[in-house]
Amino acid sequence: MAIVKPEKMNFENQKFSAIIYGSPGVGKTTLACSAPSPVLIDFDRGVSRVRADHRCPTIICETYEEVLQDIHSPEMAEFETVIIDTGGSFVTFLKDWAMRTKPGALTKSGDFNGLKGFGFVKSEFANFVNIIKTVLNKNVIFIFHTDEKADKDGNPIQRLVCEGSVKNTVWNSCDFGGYVQMIGTQRTICFTPEQEFFAKGTHGIHGKHLVPILTDEVPNNFMTNLFKAARNHIKAEKDYFVPLQHQYDETMAKVKEVLDNVVDAETANAAVDSILNLPHALTSKKEASALLKQKTDALGLVYSREGGYATKVV
Strand 186-190, strand 176-183: pairing: antiparallel
The model carries a pTM of 0.79
The DSSP code sequence of 117-170 is HHHHHHHHHHHHHHIIIIIS--EEEEEEEEEEEE-TTS-EEEEE--STTHHHHT
What is the largest distance, in Å, between two alpha-carbon atoms of the chain? 86
Residue 41 dihedral angles phi and psi, to the nearest 5°: -95, 110
C-beta neighbour count of 281 within 10 angstroms: 17
Task: Decide: helix, strand or coil at residue 182.
Answer: strand
* 8 Å CB contact between 202 and 44: no
Could you tell me what percent of the chain has a pLDDT over 90?
71
Interval 261-298: pLDDT, tens = 999 989 999 999 999 999 999 899 999 999 999 989 99
Residue 52: band (very low, low, confident or very high) from pLDDT cuts 50, 70, 90: very high
Q: What was the pLDDT predicted at 314?
A: 54
Domains along the chain?
6-220 (3.40.50), 251-311 (no CATH)
pLDDT over 70 at 97, yes or no: yes
Q: What is the DSSP string of 241-258?
A: HHHHHHHHHHHHHHHHHH
What's the confidence (pLDDT) of residue 1?
54
**Nearest CA-CA partner of 20 in 148, 197, 196, 183:** 197
pLDDT tens digits, 160-171? 998 888 888 899
d(CA 79, CA 143): 18
H or E, element range at 85: strand 81-85
